[in-house]
Amino acid sequence: MEHEATQLEKQHVHSVYENTAAYFNDLQSKAWPRVRNFLLEQKPGSLVADIGCGTGKYLSVNSQVYNLGCDYCGPLVEIARKRGEEVLVCDNLNLPFRDQCFNAVISIGGKTACTHFVSLQIHIAFDHFLSECLRFS
């Protein structure tokens, strides 16, 4: 069952993003006000992750923090990289970060993509991975 869900997701979600990534560059909209305020509230020097960063529009909101973005879609990451953002390609369900390494995590694109996930187990795993990345102080 899990293998079928993964294949459906790859075929009907990931391939769509891969094939339409160039259009996202033109559709760049303003940052959502609450997300923007959240990012601006972070202390200078904080480490902030954007999981599912897409083209990286949130990575440049606060220049006083260190931002790191990641996305499953290579072409979207390449757009962000060309904008000078620090980004990498990775699977949102297998994040390559050690536990509790970020002061703040956003996942606007990651949670949007999560609505495409086929199984409840994948939804739960995604939320678990996000919480593991956060440093609580």
- Between 1 and 110, residue with greater pLDDT: 110
Q: Which two tokens stand for residue 117?
A: 């996930």
CB 92, CB 51: distance < 8 Å? yes
Residue 93 — very low, low, confident or very high, per pLDDT cuts 50/70/90? confident
Q: Which two tokens stand for residue 24?
A: 């996202």
Q: Which two tokens stand for residue 34?
A: 């609450």
Q: Quick: pLDDT tens for 37-83.
A: 999 999 999 999 999 898 998 999 999 999 999 998 899 999 999 99
Q: How far apart are CA 89 and CA 38, in angstroms?
A: 24
Average pLDDT on 90-99 reads 84
Q: What is the pLDDT of residue 30?
A: 76
The pTM score is 0.72
CB atoms within 10 A of CB 77: 23
DSSP 66: E
Alpha helices in the chain (DSSP H): 2-9, 15-26, 33-40, 74-82, 108-114, 120-133
* Residue of 19, 80, 11 whose CA lies nearest to 52: 80
